[in-house]
Amino acid sequence: MKTVKEIMTTDCITATPQDNLYELAVMMKNNDIGFVPIVEGKKLMGVVTDRDLVIRGLAEKHAGSTEVAKVISSEVQTIAPEASVDEASEVMARHQIRRLPVVENGDLLGIVAIGDMAVRDIFADEAGEALSRISEQDQPSSYH
């Protein structure tokens, strides 16, 4: 059985709580990402998504110079590197998330994304089912 460590991305783009919202937005744009783990050293402090930037940043009228700490999601689902890919899929489906930080002793080791499972043909059915359930949650009720 494949483990999360075998499929995770280890070259993660990260930021610190002291970085500002503008820098984070540029980082997301330049790297074509919508999810950035926030670390101090190697310790995972939380994550910021493009949605966090909009909802907790722009919509709350925070300036671009505002520290990332103001918009961070600190309650983050994580998974251990030795967990199975099946376990990761279950956590993603249960919590309606597409990306899962891989953490050991509080340190960020990598990220496993739902696409990592589908692209590598590992538990493709589970990954597809998890993505389907996540996508259903994203749809406004008027589209059903």
pLDDT tens for each residue of 83-140: 999 999 999 999 999 999 999 999 999 999 988 876 545 445 555 566 566 555 554 4
pLDDT in the model for residue 130:
62
Which comes out higher in pLDDT, residue 19 or 137?
A: 19
The dihedral sign for the CA sequence 55, 57, 20, 107: negative
pLDDT in the model for residue 141:
40
Quote the radius of gyration of the chain (alpha carbons, Å).
Answer: 16
Domains of the chain are: 4-138 (3.10.580.10)
Contact 44, 125 (CB under 8 A): no
Contacts (Cβ under 8 Å, ≥6 apart) of 135: none
Angle, helix 85-95 to helix 124-138, in steps of 10 degrees: 10
User: What is the number of residues in the chain?
Assistant: 144
Is the model's pLDDT at 143 over the cut of 90? no
Once rounded to an integer, what is the mean pLDDT over residues 73-81?
A: 95
Once rounded to an integer, what is the mean pLDDT over residues 41-57?
A: 95
pLDDT in the model for residue 133:
60
pLDDT in the model for residue 142:
38
Please tell me the distance from the alpha carbon of residue 96 to that of residue 70, in angstroms, as a whole number.
23
pLDDT in the model for residue 139:
46
Q: In terms of C-beta density within 10 A (0-12 exposed, 13-18 middle, 19 or more buried), how is residue 90 classed? A: middle
